[in-house]
Chains A and B, each alone.
Chain A
Amino acid sequence: MQVYLDNNATTMVDPLVVEAMQPYFSELYGNPNSLHKFGTSTHPALSKAIDQVYTALNASDNDDIVFTSCATESNNWVLQSVFTDHIVNGDKNHIVTTEVEHPSILSTCKFLEEQGVKVTYLPVNEEGIVEAETVKGFITDKTALVSIMWASNETGMIFPISEIGDICKEKGVLFHSDAVQAVGKIPVDLQSVNVDFVSMSAHKFHGPKGIGALYIKDSQDLSPLMHGGEHMGGRRSGTLNVPGIIGMGKAIELATQNIEETAAKIREKRDRLEDAILELSDTFVVGNREKRTPNTILISIKGVEGEGMLWDLNNGQIGASTGSACASEDLEANTVMLAIGADNELAHTGIRLSLSRFTLDTEIDYTISHFKNAVGRLRAISSSFAIQQPTKGGEVQECELHHH
């Protein structure tokens, strides 16, 4: 058996999505901007996809949902264009974000800092979220934008977006949310929250890779990131990714219809897996499970290093993820894990398991059993559980390797 439990990284494309996309590669391949029937024959399916996306997010017809290549592009677009529109060509100079955002936010903020923008990186609490009141205290009359994720990729913790949105509206500050881990996992109703911009990627909810979107409330001004033709009402140039858009429409429809019911089923499996792993001694999970996306577990297992655990899981055909520095190409510890803290142990022992609606009960059973075996094997090797203590003078007084 093989079990894929890394659905916060990417998901399997739903076969129904593939089916919907299929005709738009070799049969209906026209450019939607062409006048001839080859081009216009793609319009009905594209209109349907646009409807599907607007419906899934309960967006108003006055809002824009612009298709992009992915959430990374959407995030870059918002940050870079708010910089152009309100900082270079305006009197603002400040952006508020969090320490735990995706690199497409953090790296872009670092880039903007080099251009002279002031950026505040809000710290997270022990559950890995930023409280709305914290945001309030950092908004100044120079603040151009607040950018805060809807839900965390690492912990699954859901941020108080509605409250933060109200604060931003009251203060008259633009509010952007990277909702890449929220859309398709929990209800996202864009008419019930005060949010100006929302980023998303289709491949996180069983759609294809290479397609995403940016929601822009009330079709408000935002300079384009991609210049070129008149595509998407002039907001985002580049020939439309026809199969991608159609796939994203179908995927978001499938992910959001009966979302409460689907989420409950995923949550049940997630909780069963979590409870079983927590039976092991010296383990802890980050964040209250009621406040998490229903598919995510971030668990720390004392004495078991993350990459070693991932290796053993992989030997058992289970795909998971770790924030461990040892598993990264540059040996840098995961910033999110470090921000949540727990004595840095989480940065070395954290294992993330993320389910999907395709995860089966039998897969959960298999994972529980294999997971426990792996922990048993690695703890048997682990120095953290050794009995014979070091010779006098052979103890470690302090961390001799200083990870930052």
Chain B
Amino acid sequence: MAKADMLGESLWDAYSNKVTTLMNNPQHQGEIFEADAEANGNKLIVADFGAESCGDAVRLYWEIDPKTDTIVNSKFKSFGCGTAIASSDVMTELCIGKKVEEAVKITNIDVEMALRDDPETPAVPPQKMHCSVMAYDVIKKAAGLYMGVDAESFEEEIIVCECARVSLTTLQEVIKLNDLTTIEQITDYTKAGGFCKSCIKPGGHEAREWYLVDILADTRKEMDEEKMRAAADAGSKANFEEMTLVQQIKAIDAEVDESIRQFLVMDGGDMEVIDVKTSDEYIDVYIRYLGACNGCASSSTGTLYAIESTLKEKLSKKIRVLPI
């Protein structure tokens, strides 16, 4: 928020001239009928995407020359706002003359770029980017119908933000590499979530399979776990005094297991670590004797000294062992 946001934007003023021209006068609006395609010796493919009850719907018509797999003619019908009409119009234009396998590579980014007046200025305001996504979805569907494959098979990656076409792996990498902690940072780095905002969190314009909030939380969790694992791997080599309490107790336990417990057990006793308290001067390790050690005369003298000196030597000079 700042001065520029004090007055809400005028949605329609942000459309490019190309968008407004095509909204008012789409060039490829209309239908292609089965009989006409057949008369030309061609195959007709008609695919729907969306529905009136969801607010956007498009029907794409491809007349394909089966000998060359080339789209010789294309039309569209659209229930949608003006930007949806303009996007559909440019989409059909981009399809005409292409082979089906080429057409399927047309993305919503190509459609939006084709609607720009100049290459540097977006054709539509951010929340309208979403209209061009439908163009991409319906092309995949039409191509799937023609080639007899599932539309999903054209998508090699999981796309989290369809408006900016940002994949799950890209997001995970960018979060890790740049140590990102907020959604705003993710949008700044990748543009994901900067357009229709559906992919940020549940409850937006449309339901998504993946949400940025979850991806961020999961990736952060993974990063924390990695950090902890690294610390644990460093384990004995790490500085005992800088360990967390749990790590300290684990290190003491490991040390007891390795060089102390066997001698106690030989005499029919045992010990356990109760707590660790750190002050400026000392690291006090509270222990409890078990079995035969409990009440044994040397438990407060020789044995105690042996335990303390072992831990001092292996872990930290500041350690004091206090039986309770």
Contact = CB atoms under 8 A, between A and B. Distances in A.
Interface string A134-160: 000000000000000000000000000
A23 to B, nearest CB: 30
B122 interface: no
A330 B127 contact: yes
How extensive is the interface on chain A, given as a class? Answer: 35 or more
Contacts of B44: 388, 391
A97 to B, nearest CB: 21
Contact of B205 (A331, A344, A380, A399): A331
A283 interface: no
B103 interface: no
A35 B52 CA distance: 65
B55 interface: yes
B320 interface: no
Interface in A337-380: 343-345, 347-349, 380
Contact of B9 (A329, A345, A398): A329
B55 A330 contact: no
Nearest to B133: A401
A36 interface: no
A400 interface: yes
Given A383-B48, A386-B59, A402-B207, A308 B54 contact: no
B127 to A, nearest CB: 5
Contact of A387 (B31, B49, B130, B196): B31
B47 interface: yes
Contact of B23 (A311, A391, A393): A311
Given A311-B23, A329-B8, A388-B61, A394 B48 contact: yes
A311 B81 contact: yes
Given A332-B205, A381-B29, A400 B50 contact: yes
Which of A348, A382, A401 gathers the greatest number of chain B CB atoms within 10 Å? A401
Interface residues of B, number: 52
Interface in B87-134: 127, 130, 134
Contact of A394 (B33, B52, B145): B145
A125 interface: no
A208 B45 CA distance: 57
A395 interface: yes
A389 B31 CA distance: 10
A335 B55 CA distance: 14
Nearest to A395: B48
B55 A326 contact: yes
Interface string A313-347: 01100000000111101111100000000011101
Interface stretch (A48-56, A209-217, A299-307): A299-307
Given A305-B81, A308-B80, A326-B80, A403 B48 contact: no
A338 to B, nearest CB: 11
Contacts of B47: 390-391, 394
A396 interface: yes
A324 B55 contact: yes
A381 B26 contact: yes
A38 B141 CA distance: 75
Contacts of B154: none
A307 B83 CA distance: 10
A325 B55 contact: yes
Given A331-B127, A381-B77, A390 B59 contact: yes
Interface of A: 302-308, 311, 314-315, 324-327, 329-333, 343-345, 347-349, 380-391, 393-396, 398-404
Given A387-B31, A394-B142, A402-B207, 6 more contacts: A308-B23, A311-B82, A315-B24, A331-B130, A390-B46, A394-B145
Interface of B: 8-9, 11-12, 23-24, 26, 29, 31-34, 44-59, 61, 77-82, 84-85, 127, 130, 134, 137, 141-142, 145, 196-198, 203-207
